[in-house]
Amino acid sequence: MKITILDGYTSNPGDLHWEALEALGECAIYERTTPDEVLPRARGATVLLTNKTVLQREHIEALPELRYIGVLATGYNVVDAAAARERGIVVTNVPGYGTASVAQMTFAHLLNLTLRVADHAQSVRDGRWSRSPDFCYWDYPLVELDGLSMGIVGFGQIGRAVAQRAIAFGMRVLAYDGAAPAEVPEGVWMTTELSRIFRDADVISLHCPLTPETERLVNAERLALMKPTAYLINTARGPLIDEPALAEALGSGGLAGAGLDVLSQEPPPPDHPLLGAPNCFITPHIAWATHSARRRLLDAAVENVRAFLAGQPRNVVNP
């Protein structure tokens, strides 16, 4: 049996190993695969693994040996799951592996926005503290989280993890989810009015999936509801935000800042409107990429393949 990994580099740039997967069959591992290389590299594979390399209907229909597609991520929109189902091909994903890491990145952005640690540290490196007539200085408002309200949009595993950390910081948590949760943790107030989140929260953090209903959920109308002292954080999916509208709001002082780990186009074009927006801090989609999270990802991906080979597939997204 042939197992092909189309884009293994981001999941494992060399600090982990593929031995457990290689024990299951003959493996061909590619660091990156361009669209033109998908079919030549995937031919003959029974098992195909991908992270961000797109598998369209035309690919799936041209691979007669293919029986299984494993997505090395939680989101699986890179695979035409319906086309795979028509061919009887199982598609799986890896849910939950990055919960703690994404929650941590949410607060990395929030702490940077409220204390501007990187900016102040750079000023010290530049020699400003050594030249200062005072024992301390600060260039931006320093904001305490205790007592502020955190609005969480999307209350799944990651949203709940963010809520726990917000409560530990002394924040009040207001949450919204399209599906009412069966159980609400102590210290969390659920609302059915999304506008209330945008109107009342001091910090809004996005943790909902990207669907036709949530695309551009953060638009000009909702941004206008936000306090000018509020912060927006997105570690979920880039297209949840109308990015030109956010750039306009930041430029006009409509909100205090934004921390983003995702954009609608990745990598972004040089003229992306948010790259030069004031008080906008962007990281290159790394919330999921801690060593611990990637190790869990690979372990789970191997278990998904092993379960499929045993005739008991798990984490199937196209039943």
Active site residues: 237, 266, 285
Residues 6+ apart with CB under 8 A from 40: none
Token pair belonging to 261: 């780990």
Q: Which CA distances in Å does 58 have to 61, 109, 150, 255, 260?
A: 5, 40, 44, 45, 34
For residue 97, the one-letter residue type is: Y
Given a contact cutoff of 8 angstroms between Cβ atoms, the answer to whether 231 and 250 are in contact is: no
CA distance 142 to 94: 39
For residue 3, the one-letter residue type is: I
C-alpha distance across the termini of the chain, in Å = 23
The SS3 assignment for 13 reads: coil
Q: Which CA distances in Å does 32 have to 29, 174, 194, 319?
A: 9, 41, 40, 28
